[in-house]
């Protein structure tokens, strides 16, 4: 009898609560599914996030499908949701947890009902589990053996050029149309793509244990082949590059952009995951523009050099200003990501962050509050020197506007939250900013995105004390 595998994207309620985030296609699950299909394994993907499914709806679907194996990809806010699902399933189903939260907290998930936890990348680990290989011989997993937790040897980083393209055909709307939409999607069909995995930098708020520090880059040919596949099969008009560090190797990145430009693919390119400002050059920006890039984001984080050095970000205020200047000069929409409550942050440093955001005159600014996710250096530091306060994992997200820890080296939560709200008010309600946005309107989609953005901003500042 053929074993069926069901892969699940849990419902991240915070996306609808904050209004600041879209619902992105679960490309990671689609990669796992592609490897399973390549090996003739019957696999289905259930995207409970896009469907807005409750725990009961997910459980009912699982019982209806009756799979032998259920794999769930878990980010921190969905921890309790996923545990609730697993605890309501028949005991004969092999339940597997994967994703960042699973890699960070395998013991807890095993004690709460999961039978196997995948540590790190899951494509070939899942394949070996499904094929029935002895658990002790599978690298990169944790499992219970007579109530003892066993952790196997780490799995070496995989060769990203050997992966099949993600099985988007198993996603809703092939993963290229509604209900999938990023915060600023302008054209449909659209989707996201990974051209590399890993990041060599060591920012203390960032989780590195899934993809690791070694940057593994797909070849230019491999990337272009996938883009052509997406264009020819789904007629995509917008492509979001999801890489942690697309501009790590500028020569390779520029060759990809050259190929896109030369083929005249007519695709809006978006680099929305935060490019490094210290790796921005006039030539790179020029090639982005020629390839059709209309939007990019920079991980700026702070306007205080002392705080940037403590993260450590390994960037300077001068590099930030130059990168934004070059991008604006090319006519590319630019967003800056900022974090309040970083190690070393006080009222003065956070005020400098707000002032820098305004000085840069960015098209968009995303302000968040530092969140010590499990498995990060920030988590370890706060555990040793301060205290983490939260009522449940579902509230554990950087877009909530709440600071969930105290630490002697960081301003008080009330001060951080006040500066967070103040940042949104002072940046977005400047008369000069409002006028500039009005004059830039060219389509109904822009009006709609601006309206949705306004709602999220109002949510962020609704509790502000006017004395701040």
Taking only the tens of pLDDT, the chain with its 468 residues reads 357 999 999 998 755 555 556 899 999 999 999 999 999 999 999 999 999 999 999 999 999 999 999 999 999 999 999 999 999 999 999 999 999 999 999 999 999 999 999 999 999 999 999 999 999 999 999 999 998 999 999 999 999 999 999 999 999 999 999 999 988 888 999 999 999 999 999 999 999 999 999 999 999 999 999 999 999 999 999 999 999 999 999 999 999 999 999 999 999 999 998 799 999 999 999 999 999 999 999 999 999 999 999 999 999 999 999 999 999 999 999 999 999 999 999 999 999 999 999 999 999 999 999 999 999 999 999 999 999 998 889 878 888 889 999 999 999 999 999 999 999 999 999 988 887 777 666 666 666 666 566 666 666 666 544 444
Q: How much is the pTM?
A: 0.93
What secondary structure, in 3-state letters, does 245-291 show?
Answer: CCCCCHHHHHHHHHHHHHCCCCCEEEEEEEECHHHCCHHHHHHHHHH
Got the DSSP string for 147-158? TEEEEPPPPPPP
> Hey, what domains does the chain have and what are their CATH numbers?
4-151 (3.40.50.280), 182-461 (3.80.30.20)
Helix, strand, coil percentages (3-state) for the chain, rounded to 5, are 45, 20, 40
Pairing of β 4-9 and β 42-47: parallel
User: In Å, what is the CA distance from 21 to each residue of 47, 188, 278, 412, 455?
Assistant: 16, 17, 27, 27, 12
Strand partners of residue 144: 149
* Structural contact between residues 128 and 71, judged by C-beta atoms closer than 8 angstroms: no
Of the candidates 180, 199, 202, 197, the residue with the CA atom closest to the CA atom of residue 189: 180
What secondary structure, in 3-state letters, does 418-438 show?
Answer: HHHHHHHHHHHCCHHHHHHHH
Pairing of β 141-145 and β 148-151: antiparallel
Of the candidates 350, 354, 356, 392, the residue with the CA atom closest to the CA atom of residue 370: 350
| C-alpha 108, offset from chain centre | 23
* Structural contact between residues 121 and 158, judged by C-beta atoms closer than 8 angstroms: yes
């Amino acid at each position: 009898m053929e074993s069926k595998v069901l892969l699940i994207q849990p419902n991240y309620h915070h996306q609808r609560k904050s209004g600041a985030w879209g619902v992105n296609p679960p490309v990671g699950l689609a990669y796992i599914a592609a490897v399973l299909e390549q090996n003739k394994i019957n696999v289905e993907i259930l995207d409970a996030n896009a469907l807005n499914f409750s725990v009961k709806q997910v459980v009912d679907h699982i019982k209806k499908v009756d799979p032998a194996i259920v794999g769930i990809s878990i980010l921190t806010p969905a921890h309790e949701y996923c545990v609730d699902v697993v605890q309501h399933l028949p005991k004969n189903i092999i339940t597997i947890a994967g994703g960042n939260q699973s890699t960070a907290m395998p013991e807890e998930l095993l004690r709460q009902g999961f039978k196997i936890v995948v540590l790190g990348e899951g494509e070939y680990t899942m394949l070996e589990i499904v094929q029935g290989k002895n658990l002790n011989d599978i690298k990169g997993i944790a499992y219970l053996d007579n109530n003892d937790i066993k952790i196997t040897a780490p799995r070496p980083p995989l060769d990203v050029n050997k992966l099949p393209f993600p099985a988007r055909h198993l996603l809703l709307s092939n993963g290229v149309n509604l209900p999938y939409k990023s915060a600023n999607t302008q054209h449909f069909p659209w989707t996201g793509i990974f051209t590399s995995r890993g990041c060599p930098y060591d920012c203390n708020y960032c989780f590195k244990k899934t993809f690791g520090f070694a940057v593994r880059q797909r070849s230019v040919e491999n990337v272009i082949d996938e883009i052509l596949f997406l264009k020819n099969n789904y007629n995509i008009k917008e492509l979001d590059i999801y890489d942690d560090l697309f501009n790590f190797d500028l020569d390779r990145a520029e060759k990809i952009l050259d190929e896109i430009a030369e083929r005249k693919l007519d695709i809006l390119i978006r680099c929305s995951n935060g490019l490094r400002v210290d790796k921005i050059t006039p030539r790179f920006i020029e090639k982005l523009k020629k390839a059709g890039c209309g939007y990019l984001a920079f991980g700026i984080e702070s306007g205080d050099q002392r705080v940037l050095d403590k993260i450590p970000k390994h960037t300077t205020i001068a590099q930030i200003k130059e990168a934004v200047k070059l991008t604006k000069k090319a006519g590319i929409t630019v967003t800056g990501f900022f974090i309040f409550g970083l190690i070393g942050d006080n009222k003065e440093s956070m005020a400098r962050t707000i002032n820098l955001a305004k000085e840069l005159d960015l098209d968009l600014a995303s302000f968040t509050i530092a969140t010590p996710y499990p498995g990060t250096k920030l988590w370890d530091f706060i555990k040793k020197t301060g205290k983490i306060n939260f009522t449940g994992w579902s509230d554990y997200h950087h877009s909530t506007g709440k600071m969930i820890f105290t630490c002697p080296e960081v301003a008080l939560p009330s001060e951080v939250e006040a500066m967070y709200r103040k940042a949104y008010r002072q940046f977005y309600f400047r008369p000069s900013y409002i006028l500039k946005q009005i004059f830039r309107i060219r389509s109904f989609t822009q009006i709609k995105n601006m309206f949705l953005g306004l709602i999220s901003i109002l949510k962020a500042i609704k509790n502000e004390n006017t004395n701040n």
